Each structure stands twice: as C-alpha cells, then as structure tokens.
Amino acid sequence: MSSPVSAAEMAAVKTSSNGVWQGDDPLHFAFPLLILQALLILVLSRFLAFLLRPLRQPKVIAEIVAGILLGPSALGRNAAYLRALFPPWSTPVLESVASLGLLFFLFLVGLELDLRSVRRSGRRAFAIAAAGISLPFACGVGVAFVLRAAIPGADQAGYAPFLVFMGVALSITAFPVMARILAELKLLTTPIGETALAAAAFNDVAAWVLLALAVAISGSGSGDHRSPIVSLWVLLCGAAFVAAWMVAVKPAMAWVARRADASGDGGGGEAWVAVTLAGVLASGLATDVIGIHAIFGAFVFGLTVPKEGGFAARVTARVEDLVSELLLPLYFASSGLKTDVATIRGGEAWAMLALVIATACAGKIAGTFGVAMACGMGAREALVLGVVMNTKGLVELIVLNIGRERKVLNEETFAILVLMALVTTFITTPTVMAIYKPARAAGRRRLHHRKLQGPDPSAPSSPSASAGAGAAMELRVLACIHGGQDVPAVINLIETIRGHTQPRRLVKLYILRMVELTERTSSILMARAARQNGLPSATSMSALHTMHDDVAAVAEDKRVSLVVLPFHKRQTGHGGDDVENLGPEWRAVNRRILREAPCSVAVLVDRGFGGGEQVSSEQVAHGVCVVFFGGPDDREALELAGRMAEHPGVQVTVVRFVDGKAGSEERSEVTLRPSHTKNADRSYTFSTAVVDAGKEKELDEAAVAEFRQRMGSLVRFEERVVVGNVIEEVVSIGKSREYGLVVVGKGRLPSAMVAQLAVHPAEHPELGPIGDALASSGHGVTSSVLVVQQHDMSNADEVPVSVVVDGRAQDGEFAKDMAEP
C-alpha cells in the first residue's frame, strides 16, 4: 500500500472491464476492484463490530481493525493477495472515494458542534478542556524528542512539524465517539456527561485550530525547508477563510435554512439541500487551494449551518447513511491498510509503543482529573471524566494520515500512533464501567412502588403510602414521548386530569423524550435539540433493548405514580386511515416498560385527542368514557377518571358491564390455565397470581360505591347487562363519536367476561382484550384510548393462558398443556 504510483501507471488504469467472457480480468480495472475492496471492508468490519458488541466498543474500532487485518500486518503479508486485491495503483482510487466520505462526515461533525452552546458551557468546562489539551500536548512534545532519537528515520522530518503533530495526536478527544460511549453507558444526560460533552466541544475547536497549524507548517514532505513566510501565509489565508465564512456564508445559510423550512418536504426543500451539499464541496476546494486540507473547509461550512429548525436534521438524514455506513468505513479501513505492525521491530520499538500509550493516558486523565477536582467534582466523577476525555477516533486518524502524507510521520511512527488510538479508545468503556457502575436497577427494587388507588377504596387518590400525607393531593406523572408530535395529546391528557375544583390536587408533569441510540449523527443531534428546546424535559438516549431501564429509573427518581406511554402506532391524518407504525421494536419497549415500571402505567392510543392541538385548561371540552369490568386495572382506571371528573369542561361517563348470565343456570365457570404452547407476542397474557374471586368482587363493589358517592352528579353512571358479544358493545362506545377518550383497564386479573376473550386472536396483546379491540384500526373506533395498568408486584408475572369453561378447554390448548411433562 505504500509503494509510490507514477503518473504513467495511473494513466494506464482503466475504469471498467468488458467482462471475463471477453478475456478481461475485472481485478485489473479500477471500478470492479473498488467494489470488491469495499465489499471486503464492509463485511469484515461488520463481523468484527458484531464480535465486539458485547464489549460495548464503538464501530470505529472494528473498522480500523478490519483495515489492519486486510493490510500488510496480517493478510497482506501474502504478496500474491496484496497484489491481487490491494495493488499500489488502486490506493489513490480507494483513498479518493474514502476522502469524499470523510469530507461530508466532517461537514456532519460541524453540524453537531454548536458554537453557541460551547460559549454557554461555562468556565468549568473551559478549564477542564484547557487542561485536557495543554498537558497532553506538552507530554506529546516531550515524547516526540524520545521517538526521534529511538525510531530510525523519525528525525528526517523537521522539528517543528514533528513536535506539533505529536502534541496534537496525544491531546485530541473524539467528540462523536465519546458521545456515543457516554450514551451507551447511560451517562450522556448526567452531570458527568454534560460536562464531558461541553469540554469535548471546546477540545474539538482547539483540535481543529492545532491541526490547521500543524498542516500549515508541515510543508510537502521531509526535508522541505521552505520559508516560514509561506507557512504564515497559509495560516493567514486559513484565518481569512474562517472569518469570511462566518461573516458572509453563515447569514446566507440562515436564509437558505429559512427558505427550506418554509418549503417543507417538497421539491423546493430538496433544491436547498443540493445547494448545501454543493457548498460542502466548494468549501473543501477552497481550503485545499489554500494549502490546509479540504476537510477543514467542510468542517467550517458545517458550523455555518443553523442548528435551529428542521433543516440541519433534514440535511443530516440525506447524507449520513451513505457516508457513515459505506464511505467512512473505507477511510478508517484505509488507515488500517496503511498500518504495518511489522514495522514495530524489537523490544525498544514496542517499549516506545507502551510509552506513547502511557503518556497519552496519563496526560489526558491527569490534566482533566486535576482541574475537575479543583472545580469541585468528586474524585470518582473526575476520574471517569478523565477516562472518557481520553477517547480517540476520527480526528486522531485524520491527523495521523495527514502527517503520513506530508512525510512528517514515517511508517513505524504512524503504526505506533494508530495502535495508541486503538488501545486508548478500546479501554475507555470497560474502565468507566469498572469505576462508575450504574446501580440504578438494583437500587430501584428496594424503593417503594406507587399507584393511583390507595390500599383501601375508602382512601382514594393517595399516590403512595410512602410519599407522606403532605404529598397525598399531588399526582406525579411521567409522560414519555417520541417527538414533538406526541406533545399535544399528552398535554391535553394532563389538562384533563388536572381538574379545577380542588386546587390542592396538583399534577406535576415530567416529560421524557425517548431517543434511540444508533451510530448515526442524528442521534446526537436529536438529543442536543431535546436538551435545548426549553421544555421541562429529559432525554433518554439508549439502545431500544435498554430503554425501559431509563424510563423506570426516571420514574423512581421523580417518585411518579403514573407513566404515560405513546402507543407504537399513531394516526397521521384526520381520516383515521393514515396510521404510522413505529415498528415492533418500539412496541417491545412499551411491553418492557409495562413489565418493569415501579408505578402504574397508561398507554395512550392517540386519535387526535383534544382536536389534535394543544389547548389550555380553560379550553378543555370533551367527553370521557370509563369502561369498567372489574379487577385492579379497572379500579385504577376508575380512580384516574375521578380526577378527570373534577374538570368543569370534562363530562365523565362510567359504563359498568355486568354479566347477564350471572346468577342464572346458564352461567359458566371460567378458569384460566397457564399455556406453554402459546406465544406471548401473539396471545393475551394474564397474571399468574392466585386471588380470591370473592374478595376481588368485594373490592370492585366497594370501589364503585365509593366512587359514585364521592363524584355524585359530576359523573354519569350506567350499567349495561351483556348477554351477547362483549367486544361489539365496547367497540360501539368508541365508534359513537360521543367521547374524545375511552379509558379502560388492561385486565391482568380479568372478570369472567373478559377472561373468555383470551381465546381471541390478539393484534396488540400488551393492551389486553378490551384495549386491543378499541386500539385496532379495523373496528372503526374514532375515540382516543387510554389503557391503564395498576402497579402491583403480586400481579407482575404474566403468561399466555388457556380458557377452561366448565372443565372444557375452549381453544384446544388445555389438553396439550396437560399432556406435557
């Protein structure tokens, strides 16, 4: 990979072959070979990422290691393989494509970095960043003297460029990689994470200034003794470029963003995205002409794009998948392909590698730790901050590759520094986990659990016996949202619950935005936007399989009595037929929250509740129907309806369904038996707890009697005797257009009427049979639906069941279950 390629050799290379049937070898042509190289890199890097996933390693580690394995360090030691798949003439082609991806990725990095938030970060973040740069830089300069003396050929480069490149290489923090590590460890929105992001943002700006300085003074190769005036001119032109782009281009991009946002997702918006991408290329060309590097121009142009509004997110969505998933891995892998570990020969060279790693870690961690302690942070938090600030990544590799291109770093020095970047990033996650273990899940189980209904129906509206008498009139609600489109329905629901007749019955609302953690740049952009939108909200940025832990932790920390979840399907049009499905992954998130939450949970199926727009409490005017069959979940729904009834703009109707066969000879004995053959994803699940049916009936009667006495004329109460199809009766309520919201219990401990519905096919089993019927788009229900589950640890275990009526299985499952060992 390091053999020089002459202009004549490149001129002889053809782009496409005529195919093997016409005697051409595709591997002797640029485009087919590029496709094969990209395929190898992608397959190997994805496989390594899969292997490293249990260790929570960032994807960049797998991509660099893939390049090292494909290059001269491993497979490339076979000369025939290297000549066939990575011949010297293919290097410029692969690196040109990879550099194009790098250009646009650095533009995305500029989009991530908000200079105003950097300025607002405060003195502590600035002090930590300054110490985290200056001490490692000084250590890098010191190590540079040792390397020049110990590594053959290292002294061929000029002193100044070599010292600056070494200082920059050891002082850089990889902002995107560090942000994803913090999010993976659930530290992104903690004080440590906030401080680390702010300090890393300062570090990023300083790193680019230092990189521009290093490039400006490095010249074009070893032995380049050009006049210092040339380097000065490069620096001055670079500074003029930055000033011009901030003064002239930034207002122009603000105008472009406004026009694009005004045109929405139509063709006009696409045209402005194209203008922006052209601006990336033009900016890169400008800085390349100056003599810095094309990526510097792309980065600065990214800084000029406004972070407000939806334009930045729209541009990111157009660019990031192709860049992050295809082009950028080629750049990381090309760095690995140029890394020949075999050049590190002898004990002295490996000692130099250990020295560089130790110096990089000690300088960054010690500098950050000392200043963080001086700023009042605890020792453990300061140490964790120093470790995460030691993360290396993209900018590190850019520095090393530019140093290699400018012949400031020879092959051995380059290999040592690439391995240093790998090791320091690899050890970050396990080190932080060892130092700062988040024990939230374990601690959560020892705390009190809450629900709306008190331990006795005669003592309603007591959120928690443990919360104290002073808080008995306060309801704390955690509303989880996916984005701004969920906010109107949530606010309207809270306004409905809040009521007016008893000022002391306060509702304290907490909003948690759930953002999926991915390798995409938009994950960090969304989290940052959520923190800066002015709402009293937090952000859970996690992989979907751990999102429920964040929700449960926030619910426990805020001591809420009710978690409100958005259904994974939402109506997008006024006709009711346009439904957006967020997918089975988000449905699984809701199911895990229902199972793990330390309080009651309500799933909101929004069909334009409150008119689809946020309204004030005085504007609330709609009907609410509570469907009551009996059981803990229905009693919890009834308790919530009691709060709604206190609102003067809300008319609450309670419809209690009574079994028409009760007390008659036709009444059947219904029993639920656990089923080992049914799938919980496609069947309703019910509690395995053994309960006294008589006691449950007494609790139902007491709850209804107390509710009617307390509410009086505020609530319209109706009993319906059901002999036929229960589902048709319930669905008719949702189709009547009389109610804006229908509230039902999930029914984990169901009445006999609901229990018999367990044999029905389930579309959304997590909602229970009644909630599923109302949420199904095929029944023509127009009301929004709120499915309530009361928190009760004794009912937490749920399994699919078989229905046995008068000793006979209704679905053929009971006989199979009895036959199993």
User: What is the pLDDT at residue 437?
Assistant: 64
Give yes or no for residue 789 having a pLDDT over 80.
Answer: yes
**Parallel, antiparallel, or unpaired: how do β-strands 537-542 and 569-571 relate?**
unpaired
Distance CA 582, CA 589 (A): 11
Q: Which residues lie closer than 8 Å to 756 by C-beta, 6 or more apart?
A: 670, 803, 805, 810
User: What is the pLDDT at residue 370?
Assistant: 93
Q: Output the furthest CA–CA distance in the chain (Å, rounded).
A: 107
**Domain 620-661+670-806's class?**
alpha beta
User: What is the pLDDT at residue 814?
Assistant: 38
pLDDT tier at 471, thresholds 50, 70, 90: very low
The alpha carbons of the chain give a radius of gyration, in whole angstroms, of: 32
Give yes or no for residue 389 having a pLDDT over 80.
Answer: yes
173-191 pLDDT tens trace: 877 778 777 777 777 767 7
User: What is the pLDDT at residue 605?
Assistant: 93
pLDDT tier at 276, thresholds 50, 70, 90: very high
Give yes or no for residue 464 having a pLDDT over 50.
Answer: no
413-433 pLDDT tens trace: 999 999 998 999 899 888 888
708-748 pLDDT tens trace: 998 888 899 999 888 778 888 899 999 988 899 999 999 88
User: What is the pLDDT at residue 103?
Assistant: 92
Q: Tell me the range of 97-106, 539-548, 576-585, 790-799 where mean pLDDT is highest.
A: 97-106
539-590 pLDDT tens trace: 777 778 888 888 988 898 888 999 999 999 887 665 555 778 888 889 999 9
| Cα dihedral 659, 662, 667, 672 in deg (nearest 10) | 60
Distance CA 674, CA 661 (A): 25
Q: Do domains 473-603 and 620-661+670-806 have the same CATH topology?
A: yes
User: What is the pLDDT at residue 319?
Assistant: 87
The CATH number of the structural domain formed by 473-603 is 3.40.50.620
| Cα dihedral 172, 176, 177, 178 in deg (nearest 10) | 70
Give yes or no for residue 338 having a pLDDT over 80.
Answer: yes
pLDDT tier at 142, thresholds 50, 70, 90: very high
Distance CA 457, CA 449 (A): 18
Which of 337, 322, 325 minimizes the C-alpha distance to 418? 337
Q: What percent of the chain has pLDDT over 90?
A: 25
CB 330 within 8 Å of CB 98? yes
Which of 744, 717, 737, 729 minimizes the C-alpha distance to 652? 717
% helix / strand / coil in the chain, to the nearest 5? Answer: 60, 10, 30
Give yes or no for residue 2 having a pLDDT over 80.
Answer: no
Q: State the number of CA atoms in the 13 A half-sphere of 520 facing the CB.
A: 21
User: What is the pLDDT at residue 636?
Assistant: 92
Give yes or no for residue 264 having a pLDDT over 80.
Answer: no
Q: Which residue has the higher pLDDT, 313 or 590?
A: 590
Mean pLDDT of 237-260: 92
- What is the average pLDDT value for the chain, to the nearest integer? 81
- Specify the DSSP class assigned to residue 153: T
| Cα dihedral 793, 794, 797, 801 in deg (nearest 10) | -150
Domain ranges of the chain: 103-332+348-435, 473-603, 620-661+670-806
User: What is the pLDDT at residue 146?
Assistant: 92
499-541 pLDDT tens trace: 665 554 688 889 998 888 766 655 555 555 545 444 445 777 7
Cα angle, residue 188 at apex, residues 184 and 190 outer, rounded to 5°? 130
103-332+348-435, what's its fold? Answer: Na+/H+ antiporter like fold (1.20.1530)
Distance CA 461, CA 474 (A): 9
